[in-house]
Homo-oligomer: A and B are copies of this chain.
């Protein structure tokens, strides 16, 4: 697993570099707006290597979404790190969104964007988006259950988070995250029996 003799770096390195470059380009401009040759240039690899790592553009898109999913889950975990109360961990979701929305490159949810652009013609992309949203819903549901809330809370909190992403993207107002958080506080208070 040492560095190879080529300038390309480790095989995993190359893959990661391609995915990172493709993600930035796809997310920022839309997938079909970015030619493979631009991904190649941004990743600093040859077309031959690019197609050796990914059989085609669709496979690259799926890999990009999978990595984006991994990073999302990492960020979500980091936002909740150190917090013990389920309620605080639930609200950390919106703090995480707040952080994200203020990022200059923010342009909405990459999964929603990819789904809208390619979901109808690419089952793999549609499935990646579905899986991503599904794990997020499961995560929120688990926390809501730990908080002792009724079954209606988690779906509602998910809707707030999803709505915040698209609204922040289109309106360009990052404070949407705080609005979502305040609404979440109200819903949580109403959903937890004793007032926890």
Contact B32–A170 (Cβ < 8 Å): no
Bound-state CA distance A112–B166 (Å) is 7
* A6 part of interface (Cβ distance < 8 Å): no
Return the contact of A167 from the options B114, B158, B169 (Cβ within 8 A): B158
Bound-state CA distance A113–B111 (Å) is 11
Q: Which residues of B contact A190 (CB under 8 A)?
A: 186, 189-190
The 3 closest A-B pairs by CB, nearest first: A113-B116, A163-B163, A159-B163
| Chain A binding surface, main DSSP class | helix
Of chain B, the residue at the smallest CB distance from A114 is B116
Given contacts A30-B118, A189-B190, list 11 more A-B pairs with CB under 8 A. Answer: A29-B120, A30-B119, A32-B117, A107-B120, A112-B170, A116-B116, A117-B117, A152-B179, A152-B182, A156-B182, A165-B166
Bound-state CA distance A49–B113 (Å) is 32
User: In the complex, which residues 161-193 of chain A have their Cβ closer than 8 Å to any Cβ of chain B?
Assistant: 161-167, 169-172, 176, 179-180, 182-183, 186-187, 189-191
User: In the complex, which residues 100-140 of chain A have their Cβ closer than 8 Å to any Cβ of chain B?
Assistant: 107-109, 111-121, 126, 129-130, 133-134, 137
